[in-house]
Amino acid sequence: MSMDAVFRALADPTRRQLLDSLHARNGQTLNALCEHMDMTRQAVTKHLAILEEANLVTTMRRGREKEHYLNPVPINEIAERWIGKFERHRLDALSDLKQRLEREEP
């Protein structure tokens, strides 16, 4: 799955709210997710479809119901790709500064 799809999915506050809801209680049905949303069932379904296309949500059938689960892997990949590389540079700079300061101490 492309990171572009993940970024597009995360750009919408409603979809982030759905992800937060799944983070708080994973494995919710559509009905359970709709209880906390101020929109129609059809709108929630469309948002969930976008999250599924971005691989941020996976589903599992339990009888007649479909449970939705948060998939944190794409978010972790973003963290490693976009945040981690910038954080490493900053941590290296802080480490160098600390070593220099330690050498200067009397």
- Per the structure, the complete domain to which residue 99 belongs is given by 75-104
- On whether both 14 and 35 belong to a single domain, the answer is yes
Give pLDDT, residue 1. 59
Under the banding of pLDDT at 50, 70 and 90, the label for residue 69 is: very high
- On whether both 86 and 67 belong to a single domain, the answer is no
Give pLDDT, residue 106. 65
Question: What CATH number has the domain bearing residue 30?
Answer: 1.10.10.10
- On whether both 60 and 81 belong to a single domain, the answer is no
Among 44-53, 60-69, 94-103, name the one with the lowest average pLDDT. 94-103
- On whether both 49 and 20 belong to a single domain, the answer is yes
Give pLDDT, residue 4. 93
Give pLDDT, residue 2. 85
Give pLDDT, residue 43. 98
The pLDDT of residue 102 is above 90: no
Closest CA to 26 of 59, 64, 62, 48: 59
* CB neighbour list of residue 30: distance below 8 Å, 6 or more residues apart: 41, 44, 45, 48, 66, 68
